Amino acid sequence: MLQKESQSAGIGLATASVIAVTPTVAGATMVNLAIWPIVNEWTVPPHSAQWVSSAYIAALAMGLPVSDWVARRFGLRLTVIVFLALYCVTSIWAAAASNLTALVIARIFQGLCAGIIQPATLAALYVAFPIERRGLAVGVFSFATAAAGGAAPWIGGMLADSAGWRSMFLVLAIPAAAAIPLTYRFYPATTSGTPATPMDWAGLGLLALSLGLTILGLQRVATWDGDMPGLLFPVLGAATGFYLFWRRETSVRDPLIDMRALAQPRMASSCFINFLLGTGLYGSTFLIPLYAQEILGMTANDAGSVLLPGACVLMAGTLISARILDRFSLTAMMSGGIAVFAASNILLAYASPTSTFAAFAAIVAFGRLGLGAAHPAVHLAIMKSGTASVGQSAGLTNLTRQLGGSFGILSLALVAHWGHAPDATMIGHLGYRRAFIASAILLFTAVAAVAIYYRSKGTAQKL
């Protein structure tokens, strides 16, 4: 009887975790289908509307390193409940926004909540299940998050056509609210028992300042009118901020992010690969629905649907790749998968404006096939590189991918809009072509980084 009760509690905790994390993952991709409706409603240029996506992902990256400290200080149950409630509030705030500035601010707070919820729900699974069942529990969790991210654009497209873009944010609040009573029922009420170390507020402040100046710098580039001091200030400020952040995190006793792990060449190169992979993934996921709506003339529903076959291929490919990682070279899987992903971006760049739905969806799915091969290999490469703990490696994996995603959306939107008037609300076929080619160049840079990873010496296992 006790064993059955324990199994029931484990299933309940896993269910609560999956439901809780679903809106935080969907929130990163669903709203890409809201960009054109927002551009049309508020008459803003696409490079400004992209902040709705990039601000969320950047804020999510900020929340990731804070999550562990908050959970150890207040306990997993209270942490997840409080930030789920805040996620609901910020979702409603986003739905009610009256202008772009209010919407972006809401998305920043929403992303911070997501960044704290995601690691906390995974940690709850890891703690609650016995060692022999953790692999299955985490596998189900990972598959559920992949499914949420893949299906979200399709759902977002249907909502945009049938109920308007604001309904997307209200829909995100529903599973977050539903997960609160489940979390209260099944999550452990106590803390982990580990005394919380002091929060590295100075490190967090430097990271936030550096990211903010980076975003401001890219925005200044997009709207540059010849004001060189106005452009140099955020660029030099961001470089100085990142340098000071690096110095602090490599010298303090309890750093926000243990940057000393990046002293290992293989750890540094694999994190750089992961950053560029995040750039390509989130950047292309942002561009594809815009291209489908503006150039191919698709509805928001069809533009979301064009990503669905690729999402299915990505989920299947990720599961297959995870099972064969031990049989093939990590460097071969990384370089081959990323090269296929890059090639799909070139195909998208030169796709005909008269392409059919099936042809365009096939190109997207081809790229996701490569991503499915590369992603688990990159993750494992980070985990096996250097001397960082499992927790530190997982944190660097999530952080570099999310930072890459935010940079990808910002930079590729800038490239797509380059040469247009600051207030232009259309991009045009050539703009998208430049952006997809830029994405391919960044991904081929990642292939070159795989060669550096292969040649680097370190404490990693021989691959």
319-374 tens-digit pLDDT: 787 677 767 788 888 999 999 999 999 999 999 888 899 999 999 999 999 988 88
Number of domains, the chain: 3
186 plus 309 within the same structural domain: no
Burial 394-410 (b: 16+ CB within 10 A, else e): bbbbbbbbbbbbbbbbb
56 plus 125 within the same structural domain: yes
99 plus 171 within the same structural domain: yes
Helix residue ranges, H only, 75-200: 76-95, 100-128, 131-162, 166-186
244 plus 329 within the same structural domain: no
Tens digits of per-residue pLDDT, 78-111?
999 999 999 999 999 999 999 999 999 999 999 9
Q: Contact at 8 Å (CB) between 243 and 435?
A: no
> How far from chain centre, in Å, is Cα 421?
30
Residues 6+ apart with CB under 8 A from 156: 29, 30, 31, 32, 33, 34, 168, 300, 304
186 plus 238 within the same structural domain: no
pLDDT bin (cut points 50, 70, 90) of residue 275 is very high
336 plus 322 within the same structural domain: yes
The boundaries of the domain holding residue 365 are 260-463
Sign of CA dihedral 429, 308, 176, 3: negative
| C-alpha to C-alpha distance for 339 and 323, rounded to whole angstroms | 21
Q: Contact at 8 Å (CB) between 399 and 204?
A: no
Q: Contact at 8 Å (CB) between 99 and 429?
A: no
58 plus 127 within the same structural domain: yes
177 plus 147 within the same structural domain: yes
pLDDT of 303 over the 60 cut: yes
At 170, list the tokens. Answer: 């209200």
327 plus 395 within the same structural domain: yes
125 plus 191 within the same structural domain: yes
The lowest-confidence range among 116-125, 143-152, 243-252 is 143-152
136 plus 31 within the same structural domain: yes
Mean pLDDT in residue range 298-325: 85
Tens digits of per-residue pLDDT, 10-55?
788 888 988 999 999 999 889 989 998 998 899 888 878 888 988 8
User: Which residue reads 């942002």 in tokens?
Assistant: 286
280 plus 427 within the same structural domain: yes
| C-alpha to C-alpha distance for 89 and 152, rounded to whole angstroms | 20
CATH number, domain containing residue 17: 1.20.1250.20
- In SS3 terms, 193-230 reads as CCCCCCCCHHHHHHHHHHHHHHHHHHHHHHCCCCCHHH
Helix residue ranges, H only, 253-299: 265-294
Q: DSSP character for 99? A: S
Could you say which of 255, 270, 291 is where a domain stops? 255
Tens digits of per-residue pLDDT, 156-172?
999 999 999 999 999 99
